[in-house]
Structure 1
Amino acid sequence: MYDKLKNSPSGVILADDMGLGKTIQTIALIYTLLNNGPDGKPILKKVLLIVPTSLIQNWIVELNKWIEGKTIYQPVESASEIDNYVSFAHRLPILIISYGMAWRHIERLEKIRFDLMVCDEAHQLKGNDSKLRKKLSSLDISRKLLLSGTPLQNDVEEFYSILDFARPTVFGSLAEFKAQIQEKEGIEMPELVDETLLRRKTDVIKEFMPQKTEYIIFCKPSEIQQHVYEAISDVMTLEAFSQIDLLKKLCNHPALVYKSVHEGEIKERTGQKKFVNFAGVLSKFESFKFDPLNCQTTDSGKLAALLEMVMSFYELGEKTVIASSYTKTLDLLEELFSFIHFKISRLDGQTPNHERQKIVEKFNSSKNRQNLFLLSTKAGGIGLNLTGASRLILFDSSWNPAIDLQAMARIWREGQQKKCHIYRLITSGTIEEKILQRQIMKTGLTSLLEPDFVDADVPEFIDEEMQDFTLVETECETHTLIGCECRGSGALPDELDALENENHGEMFEEEINDTSLRLEESSFLDESKPCIVGIPGSEHDDSVLDGYKMDLNESSRSYLEQSILDDSVREIYERGEKRKKKMTKQIEEDLAISSEAAIKLDSSRKNEKHASMAELLRWRHYSTAIPQALAYVKTNTGLSRIEPKHVSFIMLAI
């Protein structure tokens, strides 16, 4: 960065992966350029640092941390501070301002001769027609440093707009740029892009960081979710945006869409309200006697699974971060977990900026394993180090994979001491699987940044498959679409030869069908079956946190007894163990393999790019309908309370 920015005009994009220290690198660069150039004289006198409002305090903390005993910055809280900046710039050369303030007071900034512009989270400048981008382009600043862990999010046009902002006119027109990057069937990195974009992947710090394991948990929709989902899909008067939003919220919990359905009112993409005849949808709620003031965790497959997961982590003595894109979902989660005596930290769009860092520091410093951190992916998914937790659950997904990746990177960062486990929850057969599939396809754009990874044999989802949002009865539609033949055994493609030995394939098919049938007949799947332990006292004790299903209505605090495995399920498990002995030795070893051995087994793949279809095929896939696969998952992933009535399929990255 120093070499590229010491001369003027110049521009560079620091596009290191999240968690690789873009902030400290930038502070070191600015401090060096302010104090010492090639000839021993300072290169910079005035620096404009533009950041999201939510990160101003974070930058102040980092500047104070790394430049001890000397303040060299002035945060902008009012227009007058911009006007007064010139008079004290010799003492406080860095002017820190939010994107919003810069937008409103661009005329004042144009009067100041800055030597360097730094834009944090610079992907906010994407789009040639962006008004923010055009306004900031009007500033006559010859050096630019853009920071973004996700410079390429949606399409080549957005990528071009960021490059062109960093180095105007260098890349020519958009049409010329597109022509440069296309060569025959492959994608070639233009030399100019290579000169402008500085990027390191997380591989460079893996050996210095704790192990990180990622999971995708496919949850079964509850019966009410299935009926309401189908009814919403049949409402043809809805615009696509409104229908998608309702279906996404329904996957979180039916209570989140009940008000809209009951009032017959939705909000369209334009922000305008629209009245819809939801009579058919409302009748589905009524048939289940749904009471929004007395809803159950089991009304949502994901919420029931989440509860089992959090209790599993509590028993391990570990704290958890739960991320969601919906404020109402965070409200529901806060009410639920507060009710069972967890201590809640929360950060969303309503959190005052001056409180954000205090909340984070308090959560990280506490050793109380009851602590949960509820995080908004939209308002709080950037710039946070939540290293006090070792488990992170992404409760719902965004169409933009960069938003989810930002949120999921909060715990695996500098300062983390424990092994990290990151879980993404998906409701099987619903729009959430379509979102996951779309994200996987969109991340193929990263081949522009990683040109060595071009795999002609990577399977692709068909667009038509992702435009159909009707409910699919399936364990995991994504597993079906990628064409994996493991049948949920956890075997990798290069291990599947063992399935063909001794007619094992036919036996394996029989194993799945027989086990699934028995699970369907089991009383274990009876949603009315009591499943809670403990009677709450005036003060918390561990027995209250022993495993839960409950009313969210505080006036109704009935606690019911639970047995993790009743006799019928135990019988199924024992029969499964007997069948397991008939399986080939290779599969038996595979299902017993430790997580450490699995990582060692596939160390040769460590440099292959994460979210591609080829990578997903290299994950281990487990069907909870197979007793020995479920037993392996419970033993080796920290999901000791997960049960097949709520979770149908688990994918595990290795």
Structure 2
Amino acid sequence: SGLLLYGEMHEKLFQHQREGVAFLYRLHREGRPGGILADDMGLGKTVQIIAFLSGMFDAELVQHVLLVMPTTLVSSWLAEFARWTPGLRVREFHGTSKTERTRNLEKVQRRNGIIITSYQMLINNWQQLASSSGEEFVWDYIILDEAHKIKCPSNKTTKCVYAIPARHRLLLTGTPVQNNLREMWSLFDFACQGSLLGTAKTFKMEYENPITRAREKDATLGEKALGLKISENLMTIIKPYFLRRTKEDIKNTCNTDRVDAPVPEDPSANSAPVMPSLTRKNDFVVWVYLAPIQEEIYRNFLSLDHLKEVLMTTRSPLAELTVLKKLCDHPRLLSARACIQLGLEGHENYEQDDRSETGLLPGANKIDQLPEETVIQESGKMQFLVGLLERLRDEGHQTLVFSQSRKMLDIIEHVLSRRQFKIMRIDGTVTHLVEREKRINAFQNDKDYSVFLLTTQVGGVGITLTAASRVVIFDPSWNPATDAQAVDRAYRIG
């Protein structure tokens, strides 16, 4: 591509990573305002960015780079920079010390280097990051990791990110489109600084509406043909600014190369290292019967007059659906008051949860004193999960168990600890990055830990848990991309 990389670094990059660096440099060389690297989770987007920046700094093509990411990824990015490019000036604009943050920022702005910060820190300090000595400061690059954070144009994060002046913008995300095409527009509008897909209104009329209409069941043949043509046009427009490879793509390419490639005269001549082969990922959707008490509560809830009224009106039934979803996971996800009303064992003497007006909201529901067998028998999912984890432990597997609810993790942990499982856990209460890293490293290096409990929101992004060979999504998200992110904590190169 024309960008020179330090030899030792170049030798360690897999072929698809070299191609990724070439793509990033081509955007710069051709004067494009930005682009999106959307490789599947676990294919090394971090390393590609580090290699690209290393080459750009060596060639003196950039001086100031701002790298923004979720708080939980700050330490891992710093560690990767230290590992791959120890000579590069990398400073963090993060932490509780305002003095230290300011010192790091001023040092990079005065000389050169990379500032690493979090989305939350940017929201609180965007004015400081956008200026220097009272004047506007223009970064050479602003790079967003987990860039789907700005998929909604109206949210605070997106607005603050737009407020940072930058000549070039790069976005990293393994899930560029999660729900609809408007999210894709939002990413490209930021990356290309509004120059590619027009306004949101224009994009909706010219692209989103006809493409969406073509996918509907009652679409005419003409509408389907029009939608296909417009989607092809859209792909043509975004292709120069967008690079995405899936694990399946890489695996197929590697297999083809091994068959077709001639034997080189000099094996060391610029050949990329062989990509470690990922085992085939098997996805199983397990349908589980409700436990008898779950089914009884479920049917009773459906027969409520209140629910019938909701179904007869235009009001959203989301609150009621959420209650049913909790019942399917475990009835003790309901408030203590609701558990008392439902006659669940062990709640007769608990204090009423005064904060819950309806009795159907999560409350101070205590399970510590309950017999484990009672907790298991009240949920069909729990019965299956416990049997599965015991078998996986006996077979020597390490397993990640994801739930969207801390409360659900409490219930699972209560049962597993009584059954002598060695457990590790990360959720929203683990706020210190050092403690988080400590738990991750302990699980990665100690095979005695058979289960790692994680909340999907906190543990499903940006961490590597390749020691695990099995992943259980206990309660699937409304958004499948969230679960895909969680699964790929384990299903990745490293």
1:355 and 2:432 matched: no
Give deviations 1:157-193, integer Å, cap 9, x for gaps: 1111111011122211223324146461423252221
Give deviations 1:563-589, integer Å, cap 9, x for gaps: xxxxxxxxxxxxxxxxxxxxxxxxxxx
Give deviations 1:256-277, integer Å, cap 9, x for gaps: 215251478xxxxxxx966237
Match of 2:151?
A: 126
Give deviations 1:432-478, integer Å, cap 9, x for gaps: xxxxxxxxxxxxxxxxxxxxxxxxxxxxxxxxxxxxxxxxxxxxxxx
Task: Give SS of 1:142's match.
Answer: strand
Q: Is contact 2:33-2:193 (8 Å) kept?
A: no
Cα–Cα, structure 1 residues 116 and 277, in superposed 2: closer, same or farther, change >3 Å?
closer
Q: Please, which of 6, 12, 28 is the counterpart of residue 51 of structure 2? A: 28
Q: How does 1:309-458 map to 2 (within 5 A)?
A: 309-351=388-430, 352-368=432-448, 371-415=450-494
Q: How does 1:125-524 map to 2 (within 5 A)?
A: 125-170=150-195, 171-178=197-204, 179-180=206-207, 182=211, 184-186=226-228, 187-190=231-234, 191-206=236-251, 208-235=277-304, 237=306, 240-262=317-339, 275-276=357-358, 293-294=370-371, 295-351=374-430, 352-368=432-448, 371-415=450-494
Q: CA deviation at 1:28?
A: 0.8
Cα–Cα, structure 1 residues 292 and 362, in superposed 2: closer, same or farther, change >3 Å?
closer
Letter aligned with residue 409 of structure 2: L
Scaled by the length of structure 1, the TM-score of the pair is: 0.56
Letter aligned with residue 80 of structure 1: T
Task: Give SS of 1:242's match.
Answer: helix
Q: Is contact 2:400-2:471 (8 Å) kept?
A: yes
Q: CA deviation at 1:245?
A: 2.1
Give deviations 1:520-539, integer Å, cap 9, x for gaps: xxxxxxxxxxxxxxxxxxxx
1:98 and 2:118 matched: yes
Q: Is contact 2:108-2:114 (8 Å) kept?
A: no
Letter aligned with residue 193 of structure 1: I
Match of 1:522?
A: none
Partners in 1 of 2:106 and 2:301 — Cα distance? Answer: 59
Letter aligned with residue 45 of structure 2: K
Q: Is contact 1:19-1:409 (8 Å) kept?
A: yes
Match of 2:35?
A: 12
Task: Give SS of 2:284's match.
Answer: strand
Give deviations 1:219-256, integer Å, cap 9, x for gaps: 11111111111222334547723222222222221122
Letter aligned with residue 293 of structure 1: L
Give deviations 1:330-380, integer Å, cap 9, x for gaps: 111111111111111111111122222221111111122x52100110111
Cα–Cα, structure 1 residues 113 and 277, in superposed 2: closer, same or farther, change >3 Å?
closer
Q: Is contact 2:37-2:244 (8 Å) kept?
A: yes
Task: Give SS of 1:153's match.
Answer: coil
Letter aligned with residue 436 of structure 2: R
- Structure 1: which 5+ residue stretches go unaligned? 37-41, 265-271, 279-289, 416-654
Partners in 2 of 1:34 and 1:236 — Cα distance? Answer: 67
Partners in 2 of 1:337 and 1:107 — Cα distance? Answer: 48
Q: Is contact 1:119-1:146 (8 Å) kept?
A: yes
Q: CA deviation at 1:204?
A: 3.0
Q: Is contact 2:91-2:108 (8 Å) kept?
A: no
Q: Is contact 1:14-1:22 (8 Å) kept?
A: yes
Letter aligned with residue 478 of structure 2: W
Q: CA deviation at 1:73?
A: 3.1
Partners in 2 of 1:140 and 1:220 — Cα distance? Answer: 55
Partners in 1 of 2:121 and 2:441 — Cα distance? Answer: 27
Scaled by the length of structure 2, the TM-score of the pair is: 0.74
Match of 2:17?
A: none
Q: Is contact 1:19-1:414 (8 Å) kept?
A: yes
Partners in 2 of 1:98 and 1:229 — Cα distance? Answer: 42
Partners in 2 of 1:127 and 1:62 — Cα distance? Answer: 29
Flag the structure with larger Rg. 1
Q: CA deviation at 1:408?
A: 1.1
Cα–Cα, structure 1 residues 236 and 34, in superposed 2: closer, same or farther, change >3 Å?
farther
Partners in 1 of 2:410 and 2:356 — Cα distance? Answer: 25
Q: Please, which of 130, 140, 145 is the counterpart of residue 110 of structure 1? A: 130
Match of 1:598?
A: none
Q: Is contact 2:34-2:169 (8 Å) kept?
A: yes
Cα–Cα, structure 1 residues 367 and 318, in superposed 2: closer, same or farther, change >3 Å?
same
Match of 1:550?
A: none
Q: CA deviation at 1:19?
A: 1.1
Q: Is contact 1:321-1:393 (8 Å) kept?
A: yes
Root-mean-square deviation over aligned CA pairs:
2.5
Letter aligned with residue 410 of structure 2: D
Q: Is contact 1:154-1:400 (8 Å) kept?
A: yes
Q: How does 1:534-553 map to 2 (within 5 A)?
A: none
Q: Is contact 2:69-2:118 (8 Å) kept?
A: yes
Q: Is contact 2:337-2:359 (8 Å) kept?
A: no
Partners in 2 of 1:70 and 1:125 — Cα distance? Answer: 28
Task: Give SS of 2:193's match.
Answer: coil
